[in-house]
Chain A
């Protein structure tokens, strides 16, 4: 279900719920924060902005470019203070396709900087996720 694209990632997820409900989880601040981050302010309309407090350390923000309920959402994406992926530098595109009573969600994260550029600039700024996320999922030490 996951394929590699150049400077992009694509993830497909089948959800046993109608697109209207899925779209609400993507655009409604209260629903959104239940699956991503610890705080979110979303103004989901074309030209509107969002700000997501991912983990009280990293903040993601950007601008909505396409808001077409309940089918398509395009927004710029970046982390505040990040040397190579600042706000406005990458794009996240989410499409919802109904399939009987379910929805197929496809997310594409486009415009990622190449590895060389990132290595050059990212010193001192570590990303969340990856092994760190697995580590955190393990029993907390205190």
Chain B
């Protein structure tokens, strides 16, 4: 992720203060998020349901 995109996403997330005071931490967090998603195999079946499923009723 390039620096401009990272900063734009950080600002979109409201992290302006963190970006000003802890720029290295924000950059590290962005790198961490960027690298982790690539390690997940996307289920081949587009109909695959995520866990947990929606449950109707008054369980809450």
A binds B: no
Spell out B's residues near A (CB within 8 Å).
none
